Amino acid sequence: MMFSPDVRVREVELAKCFTAHADVFALDRSDALPRTTQGFMGKLRMRAKLWNCATRVIEEGALTRFRMRIAGANGPFWNRLAADFNQRKLEGALQRFRCTHVFLSSPFFFLPPPRAKRDYHVHFDVVDNFHDEWPDSFVGRSRRAFLRQAMRNADTLSGSSHSLCEHAEVLTGRQAVWAPNAAPTERFARFTDQDGNEVRGRLGLSGRFVIGFVGNHNMDFVGTPTLLEAFAKAREQRPEMALLLVGPGSETLTSNRGIGREQGVWSIGPVPPDEVPAYFRACDAGVHPYDLRPLTHDATPLNVIEFSYCAKPMLCSPLRELQRLALPNVRFAGNGTVQAWATALADPATFADFDHAALALAIEPFDWHTSAEVIRREMGL
């Protein structure tokens, strides 16, 4: 399991749940997996850090975190060589820790051998639609072929959305179980609207209609620039609105644009995971402005699930998986353009009340313990 608390939330949450049933050994390369690897030099630095590491345990327990050298490469030929090297390193770690099962979600670091050539179980967890994201080029076709082979070689499959389960079945001819992205419900249950009011008071947001966006704002597809432009237009009609941005990169993005509290935008950067639920509670509504592309259309966004768990109304980009889920608190920003977002943000009906009982029923399956149990049974643990 590739484990990185800052950038791989799904793997971290599932790993914690798995410890109730098995000893978990998580490959933690947080030191080499930055929040963003944009540009050639960023990716080169990441590969150098992945390589420059001896195998060692960094924390022992029911969830033991360890590090080992990983090869990263570019191009079809080098990718395969790097994956072969990494697979040999992984098998050495399996012997050292006496592991019987592998949970794999990193699509290009490892290529498991066919089932007849190994004595351990491989479960492939499909978390993103990389397959349709690449152009029809030699490199794109090669990467698709690599991913298809990795999934076909696995013993069992799961997907973090309905769309990705169907996608995996098309590629492999085998069924992938649905284990959706979810909310840390036990952690969220410890926070109430009173905790949210304390955050509002501390930030000077009392008396405002607070719209929140919680996530990693460093990624180029999250749509924060679209949201900022649309919010500026909408605030001309609704000056009582405030936009609360929480997560890595938000403070840099707004400071570079000269946007701050005078423009109604509160940008506070990353928050410790144990404190994040209070910020969801502090908001009157949530937004999810992701760009429309294959990678985002087929995902189950954590931001949406967590706001929904807190029973907040949401305005989202018209992403296919979200339309498919049809959560009663979610409305869509037209065609996803800046003007469509501005119009929806300015309309009070966008964040009108909804059927809370229906939402509670609809959001019930989105719990990390539930998803982990689905995968655990599939893996035979």
Q: What is the pLDDT of residue 184?
A: 94
CB proximity list for 41: less than 8 A, separation 6 or greater? none
pLDDT at 43 over 80: no
Distance CA(160)–CA(129), nearest Å, equals 10
Distance CA(60)–CA(353), nearest Å, equals 47
Distance CA(185)–CA(204), nearest Å, equals 28
- The long-range contacts involving 191-196, CB below 8 angstroms and separated by at least 24 positions, are 191/277, 191/278, 191/280, 191/281, 192/281, 193/281, 195/277, 195/278, 195/281, 195/282, 196/278, 196/279, 196/280, 196/281, 196/282, 196/283
pLDDT digits (tens, 9 = 90+) for 168-188: 998 899 999 999 999 999 999
Sheet containing strand 330-332, edge to edge, reads 265-267, 241-246, 209-214, 285-288, 314-316, 330-332
Amino acid symbol at 375: I
Q: What is the pLDDT of residue 41?
A: 76
103, 123 in Cβ contact below 8 A? Answer: yes
**Which of the two residues, 63 and 39, has the higher pLDDT score?**
63
pLDDT at 24 over 80: yes
Q: What is the pLDDT of residue 273?
A: 86
pLDDT digits (tens, 9 = 90+) for 355-378: 999 999 999 999 999 999 999 999
Q: Where in the chain is the domain with CATH 3.40.50.2000?
A: 2-182+368-379, 186-363
> Domain 2-182+368-379 is of which CATH architecture?
3-Layer(aba) Sandwich (3.40)
pTM, full prediction:
0.91
CB proximity list for 82: less than 8 A, separation 6 or greater? 71, 72, 73, 109
Closest CA to 243 of 179, 178, 315: 315
pLDDT at 44 over 90: no
pLDDT digits (tens, 9 = 90+) for 55-100: 999 999 999 999 999 998 766 677 888 999 999 999 999 999 999 9
CATH topology of domain 186-363: Rossmann fold (3.40.50)
